[in-house]
Every structure is written in C-alpha cells, then in structure tokens.
Amino acid sequence: MGMRDLLGEVASTYDRTAGSKREVKGQQVLRGVANRTDLTLPPGFKVKGHGGQATPAATPWIGVFDEQGMRDPKKGLYLAYIFSADLKNVTLTLQQGITWLEKYLGKGRTREDHLRHHAARLRRAVRRKECLDWEDEPRLRDEAARPKAYEAASVIAKVYDTAALPSDIELLEDLYRGVEALRRAEEFDRVWWMSNDADSIQLAYDLDGHASKVTVSAADFDPLADFHPKDSGEYKVQISARQQIKQRSHEDLVKEFGLHAVDRGYVPITRKQHPRDLVLRREDRREERGSEWLVEAKIVRNGNATVAVREALGQLYEYRHFLYRQQPEPFLVGLFSEEIGVYAPYLEEQGIASVWRHGDGWDGSPSVRDWGMTTE
C-alpha cells in the first residue's frame, strides 16, 4: 500500500451522490487518510483527506501540510491532491488558500481573477519553466464556486490519469518537487505581503461583469450595513529579522470620513468594494450619473501633497475605467489627511473633487461643498 493505492482507492470508491455520512465508503477512505501509516511523505509533512462535511465535495482532495508551517487551507500556501469531479484525474497542485478571500472578494469571478493574478506572480518564484511536465491549472470539470476557485488558485499542477497512476516512487519524486516549489513560493509570498502594504489584495480586473446592487426596504435600511473600515490599531510586520511598527492612519481616515458622510446624508460602503477605498451612495440618486461617489484616500506626508495627489488621480482614473464599464460613471473624490493647497483646483480641472481634514471637521473643493460633504 502507498500513495498510488490511496489515490486509486479514492477514485474508485468516492460517490458524491452517496452523501457525506460516516458509513459512506468513499468518505471513510478520506477520513482515514490522516491515520494511515503506509504513506511515504517528505519529512515533517502530514496528510488529511477532505470529502465535504454536511454536503459532499464536488472535487474531493487530500491535503499535504507542513507540520511546522501552514496548517489551515483557508489561507496561505499548501500542497494537495485534488480529484476532478468525474474522478478521471487527480492533480498534485500547489494551492493558495481561498476561503479567507470570501469576505473581501466574494465567491465568484473577482476572487478567481485575484487568485490567478497572484498565482502568475508566484510562478516566477517557483521557476515554473523548469517544471516541463507540469501545468498551471488543472481542469476539475465542475462549475461550482469552490472547484473554480481551486483551478484559479493553482500555482503549478501535475495531472495524473486515475486509470494509469504512476508508481509510488514517481509520485514521491513529484511530491518532493512540489515541496521545493512550496518553499520558494512561501518565501516569495512572505516578502511580498510584508513589503509596502501588508493588507494589499491585488485585483485582476473583471471586465465582463460587476456585482449587482441589493435593494432593501426603507424600514430595514441601515446606512452603515456595508461600512466596515479596517482596524486602526498598530500592527507588527516582521521584515528581515527586525520588527517594524506601522500605523493604519489610512484606515482611520476612511473610517472618520465615512462616519461623517452618514451625517451628511450619504451611505458609506467598504464591504466587497476592493480595491476601492470607499464608495458613497445616496438613495435619492440611484440610476443617473452621480448615483455613486468613488473615494480614494491618501495620507499627506511631511506636508508635501504631491505624491498623494498623483497617486489619487491615477488610481481614481484606473478604477473608473476598469470597474464602471457597465454602470453609470461615478463622481471622483480624493480624500486627504490635510489640505492640499494648489492641487485642489488642479484636481477639479481633471474632474476630481477633493476633501480633507480641517481642524475637527472637513473642508474641500467647490464640488465637495456643493454636494454637502464638508462641515458646516
């Protein structure tokens, strides 16, 4: 017995239509994976089978986890043998965690685009071109959200025919190749996430569709229901064996202005708006241009607004171009931590309003004042 026999056994016994109860044979095989002693694994690794809980998995899988590293497949990088929905193939794949992204990007196309974007970045780190008989993504042959996310999350993949599985020696050689890729990807991932923005989620733009708006009755309406600014506390970042303390002043800025906007009759939204910092809406202006205000927040550092203004202008134009192709164009607003001087009329000429902290309140350019966003 060994990995070859295990993979063959799952392929021959798993039945999605049989349910997920303990007495179901395929589920028994997967749940017993963690206790098997006949599997030859790289030192420090363990395995665990996954066939679904209340609902049987469309694509069952066996995770291969580093006991000293990432143990939670919801986030981070790990190796897995994932079966296609028809059980004709099983793929050894270097996977990104997918579940943690749901609250930021949902379960659909936007999450898949992000995963593919980051997978392409990681392939450069794992020397993908050296893995000649490996692929980028497996084909899991199921249209459900989770299998589609597994496909998009794959960094590199070795696909096997379950009717003609290679020997245990070949499988172990490939597994070691996967471990080597995992180590390289983990280091790259750690450096990238801990660089300039520890909370950044890169977005690959979805040009074909956008999230639909949800309508609620006036009685149930909560203007803060979708306003969830990030924690403003300090956080620690480990970089090259030294610890840095960063302050989330950007998140403070978004939070404080969002709460102010509610008092001025606006609905602030941050939930599922990434990469946008903040969106403002008014219920009395829904379907014409101006039914939405797109706000980009920037911190002015050392009294020099130049960099902050340039970044705000570029990002607002970029987001409007890519994210509003199938809906009315928004008004553009630059939100700044302090007054930006001569840049306020400059931005107005470019079609961008600006608002900034002013004492205990808020001031801004003529457009912002006309919209009633400043402190009276």
pLDDT of residue 284: 61
β-strands 352-358, 361-364 pairing: antiparallel
Q: How would residue 218 be classed by pLDDT, with cut points 50, 70 and 90?
A: very low
What pLDDT sits at residue 244? 38
Cα(first)–Cα(last) distance of the chain, in Å? 77
Closest CA to 265 of 253, 277, 282, 279: 282
Helix (H, G, I), strand (E, B) or coil at 85: coil
> Count of CB atoms within 10 A of residue 149's CB?
24
User: Is residue 314 classed exposed, middle or buried when 0-12, 13-18 and 19+ CB atoms within 10 A define those classes?
Assistant: exposed
Structure token pair of residue 77: 């990088």
Count of C-beta atoms within a 10 Å radius of residue 329: 15
How much is the pLDDT for 3? Answer: 96
Domain 3-193 falls in which CATH fold?
Metal Transport, Frataxin; Chain A (3.30.920)
pLDDT of residue 90 exceeding 80, the answer is: yes
Q: Which stretch of 84-88, 206-210, 294-298 has the lowest confidence by average pLDDT? A: 206-210
What are the Cα distances from residue 106, in Å, to 197, 227, 294?
Answer: 21, 16, 20
Return the pLDDT at 152.
95
Q: Residue 250, Cβ neighbours under 10 Å: how many?
A: 20
Domain residue ranges of the chain, discontinuous segments joined by +: 3-193, 218-370
Q: Are 274 and 264 in contact (CB under 8 A)?
A: no
Rounded to whole angstroms, the Cα distance separating 62 from 48 reads 6
Q: What is the average pLDDT value for the chain, to the nearest integer?
A: 83
